Amino acid sequence: MEPIFETNRVILRLFEPADAKMVQKLAGHEEVARTTLSIPHPYPDGAAEAWIERTRQAAENGEIYSFAMVKKEGKSLIGCVSLRVSKNDNQAELAYWVGRPFWGQGFATEAAQTIVQFGFDELQLNRIFAAAMTKNPASYKVMSKIGMKYEDTFPKHVLKSGIYEDIVFYELVKTENLLS
């Protein structure tokens, strides 16, 4: 059965083909693409459809769980939260984006908290980590708000749009999981 979660204001479910247009619109916003590594800008036609197909397969294989954040009220898609699992190490990378109109309302925090719990409780992970560009304080604020600990900063660690970006890492190890 497909995993599905409910938070106070949001339902987290796997992406469906019908989400494609909204994914293209929200993820394709320049301010969302700017601080993520895997989101292209401009977002090409057809890319969301292909990504959704891949992501559903990846969830079935237990490799990546990408959940659509859907507002309970109105049922609109507002973002994405995901866990990329490294089965050999029993760990996963947490990542998220929220559509620009929905920033600053606690949605990423709410969704990330729930997915981290899923990672520890159901996937039995030992460690969950997350990375953000140092120029993206909103992202590492979310990490800190859900109890992740600052790990390290790596200067000029990734190349995005021709610029080497400094990256900050946060982590949560099972024994330190303050959420349980």
Ligand X SMILES: CC(C)(COP(=O)(O)OP(=O)(O)OC[C@H]1O[C@@H](n2cnc3c(N)ncnc32)[C@H](O)[C@@H]1OP(=O)(O)O)[C@@H](O)C(=O)NCCC(=O)NCCS
AA letter at 174: K
Q: How far is the CB of 105 from ligand X (least distance, A)?
A: 6
Q: Which is closer to ligand X, CB of 30 or CB of 60?
A: 30
Q: Which is closer to ligand X, CB of 33 or CB of 59?
A: 33
Cα-based distances in Å from 85 to 46, 65, 120, 130, 142: 26, 8, 12, 12, 20
Radius of gyration of the chain (CA): 15
Q: Which is closer to ligand X, CB of 120 or CB of 169?
A: 169
Is residue 54 within 8 Å of residue 23, measured between CB atoms? no
Q: How far is the CB of 40 from ligand X (least distance, A)?
A: 13
Give, as one character, the DSSP assignment of residue 36.
Answer: -
H or E stretch at 138: helix 137-145
* Residue ranges that bind ligand X, judged by CB under 6 A: 32, 35-36, 95-98, 103-109, 132, 136-139, 141-142
Is residue 169 within 8 Å of residue 131, measured between CB atoms? yes
Q: Which is closer to ligand X, CB of 38 or CB of 61?
A: 38
Give, as one character, the DSSP assignment of residue 2.
Answer: -
Q: Which is closer to ligand X, CB of 32 or CB of 48?
A: 32
Tokens of 174: 């099972």
| Apex 60 CA angle, 56 and 63, nearest 5 | 90
